[in-house]
Amino acid sequence: MSIYPGKGKVAVVKTSPETVLEDIDRLMKMAEVEKALSKDVTTGLKINISWQTWYPACSSTPWQIEGVIKTLQSLGYNDLLGIHNDTVVVDTSVGEANNKHKFVTNKYGIPCTYLYQQQFEWIEYKPKKPFLVLDKVYPDGVFIPKTLVGKNIVHLPTVKTHVFTTITGAMKNAFGGLLHRNRHWTHSVIHETLVDLLSIQQEIHPGIFAVMDGTFAGDGPGPRAMRWHEKNILLASADQVAIDAVSAKLQGFDPMSIQFISQAHEHDLGVGDPNQIEIVGYDIEQEQPWKFVQEDTFASRGQKMIYHGWLKPLEKPLLQTPIVGWSYFASNFYHNVYWYPFVGRQRVREALKTPWGQLFEKYGDGQVVMPGMEPKTVIQAGIAIGAVTALLVTAAVLLSKKNGS
């Protein structure tokens, strides 16, 4: 049984751009952050970057990071550290600039650790109780960053849907920190993976806490190609299962029907049943139904055919061998060449007219990067199309010569 301060308790507040930093302070204190996190160890801030381009509800917000830093420092947490990792489809160094994260951590003198850099040692982790799936996905050993062991962790997710897990939040945020670049190998068993990762966290971190931003919230095919909504809401908890359950309920989903929440609840890692969660602060029953829906993109439909459909027998050759680059290219092409330039950018322009969009714009140099078609991916596409065309032409010539002879 997991016993820790704040289990089953979630703080919720309504906020505004004018009061958000003060509201985060009040929120974290209502969630009893000082009981959850020791001041005698380093506290890592696991910042979420789901896209190197800013898009509402997609990645941690600058005011979310700033509010958490200010509150922790005011409470005497003097050893803070930003935690970043990368993915095969997201450039973190670009993302922390475009999402204005770097501006905030620099402003408060918070150093950042980039787990994908070579100097960081990844050690094999031996769990105290058996894994659900990770040892099967990684038969040669489950490796985690040595530098995270013994540190508090504060997760900074947003309120949004996800193509693979219905919603994504505090539990999914660990996915981008504890596992290395081959973490996409777990997508076919993603729910069990998140439960395993929470179990690891409870063994290696003295304290775990989450502050979730729902100022903008996203529904549809998250975590990137979403529809954004102004919801003006913030959540905080030491219970990663409970905060995700409350987020799911707000979005309109039954938390216990979401596998990673129900499994974590069943393994007593946290409280996933809304009837057993104590909510302090804002009464979420006042909220009009959000009616969010989880949807797929063209890319995610293809991935699901590999993970769960008729292409399942080809999963390892397609995604765990040197030819895996095709899947990274497909995702980049869809999101950065097609979706953002032709759909997302107009949505960003509309978001910038809102009070939250205007607040985002004020951070840093006051500029918002809204890229066009990603040049690198366009060039790759041209090369790929040229190569395929050349092969087809060559085949046609050879075939015509053969028929002519």
For residues 210 and 154, the answer to whether their CB atoms sit within 8 Å is: yes
Q: Is the pLDDT of residue 13 over 90?
A: yes
Q: Is the pLDDT of residue 377 over 50?
A: no
Q: Is the pLDDT of residue 393 over 50?
A: no
Using pLDDT thresholds of 50, 70 and 90, give the confidence band for residue 389: very low
Q: What pLDDT does residue 279 have?
A: 98
Check residues 115 and 90 and name the one with the higher pLDDT: 115
294 SS3 class = strand
**Out of 7-11, 137-141, 149-153, 184-188, which region has the weakest mean confidence (pLDDT)?**
184-188
Q: pLDDT, tens digit, for every residue of 96-117?
A: 999 999 999 999 999 999 988 8
Mean pLDDT over 213-237 rounds to: 97
Using pLDDT thresholds of 50, 70 and 90, give the confidence band for residue 321: low
Check residues 29 and 337 and name the one with the higher pLDDT: 29
Residue 283 lies in a domain: yes
Q: Which domain holds residue 142?
A: 9-300
Mean model confidence pLDDT for the chain = 88
Using pLDDT thresholds of 50, 70 and 90, give the confidence band for residue 383: very low
Q: pLDDT, tens digit, for every residue of 54-67?
A: 999 999 999 999 99
The percentage of residues in the chain with a pLDDT greater than 90, rounded to a whole number, is 72
Q: Is the pLDDT of residue 375 over 70?
A: no
> How big is the CA angle at 304 (ends 298 and 305), to the nearest 5 degrees?
95
Q: pLDDT, tens digit, for every residue of 143-191?
A: 999 999 999 999 999 999 999 999 999 999 998 888 876 777 788 899 9
Using pLDDT thresholds of 50, 70 and 90, give the confidence band for residue 362: very high
Q: pLDDT, tens digit, for every residue of 231-278?
A: 999 999 999 999 999 999 999 999 999 999 999 999 999 999 999 999
Q: What pLDDT does residue 318 have?
A: 63
Q: What pLDDT does residue 391 have?
A: 38
CA distance 20 to 14: 9
Residue 280 lies in a domain: yes
Q: What pLDDT does residue 266 have?
A: 97
CA distance 308 to 101: 36
The percentage of residues in the chain with a pLDDT greater than 70, rounded to a whole number, is 87
Q: What pLDDT does residue 88 have?
A: 61
Q: Is the pLDDT of residue 373 over 90?
A: no
Residue 226 lies in a domain: yes
Residue 389 lies in a domain: no
Residue 167 lies in a domain: yes
Q: What pLDDT does residue 395 have?
A: 43
Using pLDDT thresholds of 50, 70 and 90, give the confidence band for residue 403: low
Residue 317 lies in a domain: no
CATH number, residue 136: 3.40.50
Q: Which residue has the tokens 């908890």?
A: 237
Residue 76 lies in a domain: yes
Q: Is the pLDDT of residue 388 over 60?
A: no
Mean pLDDT over 302-319 rounds to: 71
Write the DSSP assignment of 353-374 as a string of letters.
TSHHHHHHHHSTTS------S-
Measured in whole angstroms, the distance separating CA 173 from the mean position of its chain's CA atoms is: 5
Residue 194 lies in a domain: yes
Mean pLDDT over 111-134 rounds to: 91
CA distance 142 to 124: 5
Helices vs. strands in the chain: H and E counts, helices first: 17, 12
Number of domains in the chain: 1
Cα torsion 143, 145, 150, 151: sign: negative
Check residues 382 and 126 and name the one with the higher pLDDT: 126
